[in-house]
Structure 1
């Protein structure tokens, strides 16, 4: 077994770094200097034609797109580690559902809001009405998540999975970056606290 992880700090690759830390599987980390254009070099494009991180090579096979990588890690290593539900279990379906929901629905709404408010994007791109619409969508989605976590410590029940780690990584970065107050969502707040206190998560975040 060999894993090579192509990584850049302050990017979506951070979610994969957290998962690899939790899974505790041996892997090599290669830092990609995005400012220097490492992601556009022929050797890297041969692995990921999109020229982006995260990129993972498992036993010689390259992968990209963080959701696909999380699923592959879960299926290959997560079941044994207790971080991914077993095949055929109802929890497996829920883990897949919430993992994709976090990346498609919630992340999409967060970035739509940030594109219209954040200093990361030029002011001429900002649109007040679109920002209001996106903020409403984010708050609705946070309420959905809060409801899901009502009476459950984690998304699929009693056990933390890679879906929890991935979604917590999104919110742990995205909410402060977007300057969105989520204090009303008590279940989300408690869940985020449990995730962020996990030793492997804390270690990965320090290294990021």
Structure 2
């Protein structure tokens, strides 16, 4: 087994870093300096033509898009380690659904809100109406997730999976950065705390 992980801090690559840590997979980390334009160099574009992180090379085959990488890691390594449901099981269908929902719906709305409010983005590009709409959408999606977590400790039930790690990585950073209060979502709050307290997750969060 050979895994090379192309990574940059404060990027969507962080989600893959959490999964690799939780799976305890030996891998090489290649730091991509986005400010220096490493992601636009020909050797990196050969791995990810989008010129973005993350990229992952598994046994010589490059992958990009974080959701695709999470699914591949889950199917290839996670089932045996109890971090991904068995193929064809109801739990697998649930994990796939919420993993994709987390990026296509929740993260999209959250980062659209941040793009129109946060100091991370240029002030002249912000739009107050867009921000209001995105915040309303984000709050609604948080209520949906909170409702799903009522009566179950993790996304698919009793076990934490890579779907939990992926969603928690988005919310654990995004909600504080966006300054969104989610104290009313008690189930979500408890779930996020459980995931972020996992030893492998804490270890990955402090790595540079």
If the length of structure 1 is used for normalisation, what is the TM-score? Answer: 0.99
C-alpha distance in 2, partners of 1:152/1:67? 23
Secondary structure of the 1:200 match is: helix
Q: Which residue of 2 aligns with 1:112?
A: 112
C-alpha distance in 2, partners of 1:131/1:94? 30
Secondary structure of the 2:63 match is: strand
C-alpha distance in 2, partners of 1:63/1:128? 37
Secondary structure of the 2:184 match is: coil
Question: How many residues are aligned here?
Answer: 208
- How large is the RMSD of aligned CA atoms in angstroms? 0.7
Unaligned stretches of 5+ in structure 1?
Answer: none
Give yes or no for the alignment of 1:9 onto 2:16.
no
Cα deviation 1:160-184 (Å, max 9, x = unaligned): 0000000000000110111111111
Secondary structure of the 1:56 match is: strand
Q: Which residue of 1 aligns with 2:157?
A: 157
Secondary structure of the 2:57 match is: strand
Secondary structure of the 2:94 match is: helix
Q: Which residue of 1 aligns with 2:19?
A: 19
Deviates more, 1:36-45 or 1:92-101: 36-45
Residue 186 (structure 1) shift? 0.4
Q: Which residue of 1 aligns with 2:140?
A: 140
Secondary structure of the 2:34 match is: coil
Secondary structure of the 2:46 match is: helix
C-alpha distance in 2, partners of 1:37/1:197? 34
Q: Which residue of 1 aligns with 2:78?
A: 78
C-alpha distance in 1, partners of 2:40/2:132? 36
Cα deviation 1:32-79 (Å, max 9, x = unaligned): 111111111111111111111000000000000000000000000000
C-alpha distance in 2, partners of 1:24/1:123? 41
Unaligned stretches of 5+ in structure 2?
Answer: none
Extract structure 1 runs of 4+ deviating beyond 6 A.
none
If the length of structure 2 is used for normalisation, what is the TM-score? Answer: 0.99
Q: Which residue of 1 aligns with 2:182?
A: 182
C-alpha distance in 2, partners of 1:37/1:78? 33
Secondary structure of the 2:62 match is: strand
C-alpha distance in 1, partners of 2:16/2:93? 20
Give yes or no for the alignment of 1:60 onto 2:60.
yes
Residue 128 (structure 1) shift? 1.2
C-alpha distance in 2, partners of 1:30/1:121? 27
Secondary structure of the 1:166 match is: helix
